[in-house]
Amino acid sequence: MKTLPKKLLTKYLPIPAAVLLSFNASAETRINGFANFVAGSTLDSDVTTLDINDNVAYEEDIVFDTDSLFALQISTDLSDKVSATAQILSRGRDDFDANFEWAYISYKATDNLSVNLGRLRAPFFRYSDSADIGFSYHWITAPGTVYDVGFTNLNGARLDYNNYIGDWEYSLQAALGTYESDFAGGELSGNNLVVLTAEATYEWFKIRTVYGRADGTFENPEIDATLDSIEAISPELTEALRVEDDAGFFLGLGLEADFYKWFIAAEFTQVDQTASFVPTDDAFYITAGARIGKFTPSITYEELDGVADNIANQEIVNQFAGTPFFDPLNAVNIGLQTSSSNKESRITAAIRYEFDTSIAIKADVRRIDDDINDNNDVTIVRVAVNYIF
């Protein structure tokens, strides 16, 4: 879903990892940057929304920091085939503390193949590389039901291959490594991460597929204390609920039709953390918009279904039926599984205005319907300024 005029796309695409404007394209060292300044509030006085880390996202009073960020990217050519890239990013939700989002070395093995080593973006989504760059798409932020996953970066290696078959352009990626991220009041980490992607483009049509797997661990003080309290009673139930070196899987499919004057696109994902209290998450979004002069109005519909069909591990709990241990074990088993469940739908009407070749002004209205708890239904209004430099 290209949101830039074709002449601008030609200008920005050669720049690594985003649609960024270089200060000096011929210099050995390039400094690029981007920023999103976003303000928003809920229209419901008694509802406060939370982000992926359970922090306040939006409330009745106007919030300026949740989706705002500022970043600098420095790229240096070490030789004709080797370059180094570092991206320093500060997010408003983290009090604008600066962190290295990316730090990697690239080796251009051939005209079609590059090898990247270091801290990299995991290629889960259509906009993974530019998800933080609001200027690169028509939304204020990418659809959260799909893009808000436990981690976005990996430490390791990624191979990127691009070529043509007839009129089809295709790209393949293979990423290997580890990950570590703050998530939901705890720490998410993993080993043996593998992500494989394949993307093909023919004129106005694009298709993308993704497969990922890893051995994941989730540490949360409250959850760990709860599981420790029942371990002596039922080690089997504790093991079934604890997320420790458990295999997790990611599947993704993206489809896009872009006729320039109008576009339609969708991404479908499934995240499955096996052998734990976390249910499988199925999510998708469908978006469509039109380019009318400097304006791009759009509509996006999203769904997330993270509710298990049945409560797992009941056969383990039922072994303690008729004993004093049944009720506490049953409460822990059901409580952990239901507390991590999520089922909601979202619809967002947005508009983008091309203020300048490097500045976009946006506004959106989003309605979120929580299918588990109607008290969480909320409408959010946001405005944003995205720019690159």
Domain holding 205: CATH number? 2.40.160.10
Evaluate if residue 334 carries a pLDDT over 50.
yes
Mean of per-residue pLDDT scores for the chain:
91
Exposed/middle/buried for residue 92 (C-beta within 10 Å: 0-12, 13-18, 19+): middle
Question: Residue 316 and residue 328: Cα distance in Å, rounded?
Answer: 13
For residue 271, what are its two tokens? Answer: 């995240």
Distance of alpha carbon 1 from alpha carbon 18, whole angstroms: 14
* Better-predicted residue by pLDDT, 229 or 28: 229
The mean pLDDT of 100-128, rounded to a whole number, is: 97
CA atoms within 13 Å, Cβ hemisphere of 218: 24
Mean pLDDT value of segment 336-360: 95
pLDDT: which is higher, 22 or 194: 194
Q: Is residue 139 part of a domain?
A: yes
Residue 47: pLDDT band with limits 50, 70, 90: confident
In a domain, 86, yes or no: yes
The size of the chain, in residues, is 389
pLDDT of residue 45: 73
Residue carrying the six token digits 């043996």? 192
Residue 26 pLDDT: 45
Residues contacting residue 321 through CB under 8 Å, at least 6 positions apart: none
Angle at 150 between CA 145 and CA 152, to 5 degrees: 95
1 occurs within a structural domain? no
Of 4-18, 125-139, 212-226, 362-376, the one with minimum mean pLDDT is: 4-18
Q: Could you give the percent of the chain with pLDDT greater than 70?
A: 91
How large is the average pLDDT for residues 254-269? 98
CB count in 10 Å sphere of residue 267: 26
pLDDT band at 51 (very low <50, low <70, confident <90, very high): low
Cα–Cα distance measured from residue 98 to residue 100, given in angstroms and rounded to the nearest whole number: 7
What domain range includes position 177?
6-388
Percentage of the chain beyond pLDDT 90 is 82
Concatenate the DSSP letters of all residues of 42-80 into one string.
ES-TT--EE-TTS-EEE-SS-BSSSS-EEEEEEEEESSS
Overall pTM > 0.75: yes
Question: Among residues 315, 232, 311, 304, which one has the least CA distance to residue 270?
Answer: 304
Instruction: Read off the pLDDT of each residue in 76-85 and give the average, rounded to a whole number.
Output: 96
pLDDT at 308: 80
- Overall domain count for the chain: 1
Is 340 a member of any domain? yes
Please, which pLDDT band fits residue 275 given cuts at 50, 70 and 90?
confident
| DSSP label at residue 97 | -
Residue range 371-388: mean pLDDT, rounded? 94
Other Cβ atoms less than 10 A from the Cβ of 30: the count is 20
| pLDDT at residue 37 is higher than 50 | yes
